[in-house]
Structure 1
Amino acid sequence: MSFLGIDRCHAFVTGAAGGIGSAIVEELIAAGCKVTAHDRRPSPLSPSENLYAVQGDISDEKSVAACIAQAQQHFGPINILAANAGITDESASHNIWEQSLEMWESVYRVNVRGTFLTIKHFILAMQNAQKETGEELSNVAIVVTGSECGKYGQAGHAEYASGKAALQYGLVTTVKNEIVRLNSKARINAVAPGWVDTPLIGDRLDDPRELYLESQGTVALRKIAKPEDVARAVAFLASHRTAGHISGQCLSVDGGMEGRIIWREEEVLGSKSQVSNRTKSSDSAAPALPVQVNPPKPENAIKIALSVDFDAVSAWLGTGANPENNTSDYSAGYFSGIVGVPRLLKLFAKLGISDKVTWMIPGHSMETFPEQARAIKDSGCEIALHGYSHEGAEQMTAEQEKDVLAKTIELATKLTGKKPRGYRAPLYQLNERTISLLQEHDFLYDSSLCHHDSTPYFLPKNPAPIEPIDFSPDKKAATWMKPSPRFMDLPKSKMVELPCNWYMEDATPMQFYPHTVNSAGYVDVRVVERMWMDRFLWLRQEIEDGRDDTTVFSLVLHPDTSGMAHIIGMIERFLRQLQSFGAEVEFVTCEALAQRWRDEQQRA
């Protein structure tokens, strides 16, 4: 079960082709819902087993009834209604005495009549479903969305404000009192988005939001809500587990900006050119405000050890070597450097975590893609080693492995100006010899093993290999019936192991390697996203239950995989979900994490 507890619920979302509507659909699917997306326009989201799209006119009762019937036929009874459809004219600014009757009726037809019809037929469908089964549907919830101006009022949007106010304070309250006659736990609430970062309708230069943002600079931009913020509020209210008995309420999602602009900038300061000159003047500009004052992080915050293996072409030369590899295969490696790296660097900068990421770079990639390697270094990240040509330990002699490590240390030191302190074995293929060699070079940490999945540990000094069993006919069973060395009891080194595993990386499920046995490549990104989130939420629960050791959430990305167009959006969505936990998480480089953990153990 997900945290929201709405797994397998059927949600019906109107206005689903818009910016907020699409975000609501994606949020509910990520929470485990089956979603019917309704709009007059085709859905921009990719079809999936959990998404069904219907098209219709929300202001036409026959159309609404038919679409709800289609939804029930496809996914079964509807538990959740997200009544999100609505229109407004953001490109114009009219006082109420300037409103035309045509404009008023157009907005009323969609925003009020349409929402009423959707709620009416949702409740009728619920009533019929309950008659058939003889019991109440579970988790019945209605969430209406409407502009913040419907709550506070706003000059220039009188028709929209009045219509939405009628919904949020009239229809919502009425339905709250009536729906419980049919379902004792059913609830209805509203979400009032403030200024949301969605595309403007039209491109008028005197758009009131544009003028205000220009006058306020980047401070205002930081306060604007994103569609995802509204979607999370909808998901919260849709969940009986999280929202409890909340009903008849209106939650604001405004980022600190309620949208109550009574006077536009040009009405106070003059023309747009005067506004622009004012904001560009250093002596009259508003003082800069800090982006965020971060609260102190709790000692037991989950450490997000995000790393990127920049394998590129080298992946096809070492562990991925195959006599059938061809130019098309190598091309995926070039995509990694040419497309994948810039996309990930842009994403990390957008999320403000560039200097909290560890890039594991093979020497071959440093030399084949020098511009990308420098861009990675310039992002402020940590750079660690990952072989030269992605060689597995068993592919090399001891002398070859020594030469590879010496060469890659030299390349990384030349790139960054300091000796690397971390290592990940290509394809996690290291052996006892590798561990001893890393210790000889005084590496701080390795990140290739999984004796644990979320807690660092010290690697043993010069560990002995585990011998494979010889099942030859002349061998007696007594020769192999003996325990392996107890890893936890061996003498410890000073080198830290930061655990990772196959389930916390992108390539294995989502990258297709034609000549690799365990290649998948066609797994839905949402399956992987949910697996990662389930893992995170379990670790989080462990902390709530009193676990006090260091909790590490490792995540390994590859530019050739996560850089692909159908995957990078999921990566951004997942990382933003982690960031939404605030002080409960801390993004940290592998070097900083390993050093901190080793210092703590030595003080203990």
Structure 2
Amino acid sequence: MSEPHGWDETTWRGLVNQVRAGRNLRPDTWPGGARCAVALSFDSDHETNELRDGGQSPARLSWGEFGSRRGLPRIRAALDRHGFKASFFVPAVSALLHPDEQRDLAQDGHEIGLHGWIHEVNSRLDHATERDLMFRAADTLERLAGTRPVGMRTPSWDYSPNTLAIARELGLAYDSSLFADDDPYEIVADGEPTGIVELPVEWIRDDAVYFTMNRFGAQRPYTPPEAVLDIFTREFEGAYADGGLFLLTMHPHVIGYRSRMFILETLLERIADRGDCWVATHADIARHCAAAAGLKGQT
């Protein structure tokens, strides 16, 4: 393929249209007359952040272990105080390393969603490898959590040209890896509606971008926790004012420290104090949006 400035219209338009935002799926009403929907999600990457790149550092692996050992129990306690249910997106290797964690979460009514096999980068994989990993991950989570996943979040929100087709083959109801809106929308593939609900993400609504530390790289925490709370709160208040969706992505090994948990705890208090927010799993929100829009599932 030539340099991008030499592409013809068929080439660049075809690339853009592979995965596109279709109709807006924000419903006219949320359950119980709620003003807005709140989707709290936690990517339980744990040790796979190190394993994915072939890393063998016991120190980096222990950072992931902290997420399961300390971070996740603190998160669950904060959610339990309000009776809120959340979605946990779990690489299959993380689930195999911490199987009781997945079973306990599922038994408590939280959702376990697809998040790759070992937090791989999909765009570096051929179709057969990506498909094998996604199907094996779905089988593994079903075996450990007792319920087959109905939605996915790709590792690092990375899409290959094959990812959506594999998701459709898996029969997934929703994805939460794309950025084209604040509110839910239907994913369109090459101009055709898919019946898959997108619950869009954003880096500014992700704790990792503010707090990630890599001793041997250029990544350093740069934002005070109070500022992160302010950003998340403004995002929530905006969604509340619009009557839309507030979706937040967090990581047990990032948010789960004593000096950061107040961000989540304060935000949950504010959401609870509103009294008219529907806090639900991604799966439940996707189902509601699909039903309200009359989606018949994948086409």
Q: Report the TM-score when normalising by structure 1.
A: 0.42
* Correspondence for 2:120 among 378, 388, 391: 391
Q: What displacement does 1:376 show?
A: 1.9
- Inter-partner Cα distance in structure 2 for 1:541 and 1:419: 35
1:576 aligns to 2:249 (yes or no) = no
Q: What displacement does 1:322 show?
A: 6.6
Q: What displacement does 1:516 show?
A: 5.3
Equivalent position amino acid for 1:415 in 2 = L
* Correspondence for 1:509 among 202, 210, 219: 210
Q: What displacement does 1:425 show?
A: 0.5
Secondary structure of the 1:500 match is: coil
1:500 aligns to 2:229 (yes or no) = no
Q: How does 1:465-484 map to 2 (within 5 A)?
A: none
Structure 1 consecutive aligned stretches of length 4 or more whose deviation exceeds 6 Å? none
Q: 2:87·2:113 contact (CA, 8 Å) conserved in 1?
A: yes
Q: Which runs of 5+ in 2 are unaligned?
A: 1-30
Q: How does 1:55-134 map to 2 (within 5 A)?
A: none
Q: What displacement does 1:342 show?
A: 1.4
What CA RMSD, in Å, does the superposition of the two structures yield over aligned residues?
Answer: 1.9
Q: 2:102·2:145 contact (CA, 8 Å) conserved in 1?
A: no
Q: What displacement does 1:338 show?
A: 1.2
- Inter-partner Cα distance in structure 2 for 1:603 and 1:366: 32
Equivalent position amino acid for 1:581 in 2 = R
* Correspondence for 2:41 among 307, 310, 330: 307
- Inter-partner Cα distance in structure 1 for 2:141 and 2:162: 22
Secondary structure of the 1:503 match is: helix
Q: What displacement does 1:538 show?
A: 2.4
Q: What displacement does 1:331 show?
A: 1.2
Q: Which runs of 5+ in 1 are unaligned?
A: 1-295, 464-489, 544-550
- Inter-partner Cα distance in structure 1 for 2:236 and 2:105: 27
Residues 298 and 515 of structure 1, relative CA distance in 2, 3 Å threshold:
farther
Residues 388 and 601 of structure 1, relative CA distance in 2, 3 Å threshold:
same
Q: What displacement does 1:533 show?
A: 1.2
Residues 563 and 493 of structure 1, relative CA distance in 2, 3 Å threshold:
same
* Correspondence for 2:32 among 282, 293, 297: 297
- Inter-partner Cα distance in structure 2 for 1:411 and 1:448: 21
Query: What does the per-residue CA deviation read over 1:12-62, in whole Å, with 9 as the maximum and x for residues that have no partner?
Result: xxxxxxxxxxxxxxxxxxxxxxxxxxxxxxxxxxxxxxxxxxxxxxxxxxx
Residues 422 and 350 of structure 1, relative CA distance in 2, 3 Å threshold:
same
Partner of 2:249: 556
Partner of 1:41: none
Q: What displacement does 1:511 show?
A: 2.7
Query: What does the per-residue CA deviation read over 1:426-469, in whole Å, with 9 as the maximum and x for residues that have no partner?
Result: 0101123101110111100000000112x1111123x4xxxxxx
- Inter-partner Cα distance in structure 1 for 2:295 and 2:263: 40
- Inter-partner Cα distance in structure 1 for 2:220 and 2:249: 17
Q: What displacement does 1:603 show?
A: 7.2
Q: How does 1:206-225 map to 2 (within 5 A)?
A: none
Q: What displacement does 1:384 show?
A: 0.6
Q: What displacement does 1:313 show?
A: 0.5
Identity fraction in percent: 24
Q: 2:86·2:110 contact (CA, 8 Å) conserved in 1?
A: yes
Which of 1 and 2 has higher RCO (CA within 8 Å, sep 6+)? 2
Q: What displacement does 1:567 show?
A: 0.6
- Inter-partner Cα distance in structure 2 for 1:509 and 1:351: 26
Q: 1:345·1:379 contact (CA, 8 Å) conserved in 2?
A: no
Partner of 2:156: 427
Equivalent position amino acid for 1:311 in 2 = D
Partner of 1:350: 81
- Inter-partner Cα distance in structure 1 for 2:222 and 2:54: 22
Q: 2:92·2:117 contact (CA, 8 Å) conserved in 1?
A: yes
Query: What does the per-residue CA deviation read over 1:451-496, in whole Å, with 9 as the maximum and x for residues that have no partner?
Result: 112x1111123x4xxxxxxxxxxxxxxxxxxxxxxxxxx2110111
Residues 377 and 541 of structure 1, relative CA distance in 2, 3 Å threshold:
closer
Q: What displacement does 1:522 show?
A: 4.4
Q: How does 1:260-275 map to 2 (within 5 A)?
A: none
Equivalent position amino acid for 1:589 in 2 = T
- Inter-partner Cα distance in structure 1 for 2:241 and 2:37: 14
Q: What displacement does 1:599 show?
A: 1.2
Equivalent position amino acid for 2:214 in 1 = Y
Residues 311 and 515 of structure 1, relative CA distance in 2, 3 Å threshold:
farther
Secondary structure of the 1:371 match is: helix
Query: What does the per-residue CA deviation read over 1:297-351, in whole Å, with 9 as the maximum and x for residues that have no partner?
Result: 325x211010110000011222xx276x622111101111111111111221122
Partner of 1:597: 289
Q: 1:305·1:589 contact (CA, 8 Å) conserved in 2?
A: yes
Equivalent position amino acid for 1:556 in 2 = T
Secondary structure of the 2:33 match is: coil
* Correspondence for 2:96 among 358, 367, 370: 367
Equivalent position amino acid for 1:429 in 2 = D
Q: Report the TM-score when normalising by structure 2.
A: 0.84
Residues 433 and 307 of structure 1, relative CA distance in 2, 3 Å threshold:
same
Q: What displacement does 1:577 show?
A: 0.9
Partner of 1:200: none
Secondary structure of the 2:194 match is: strand
* Correspondence for 1:329 among 38, 60, 64: 60
Q: 2:113·2:151 contact (CA, 8 Å) conserved in 1?
A: yes
Secondary structure of the 1:566 match is: coil
Secondary structure of the 1:432 match is: coil
Partner of 1:139: none
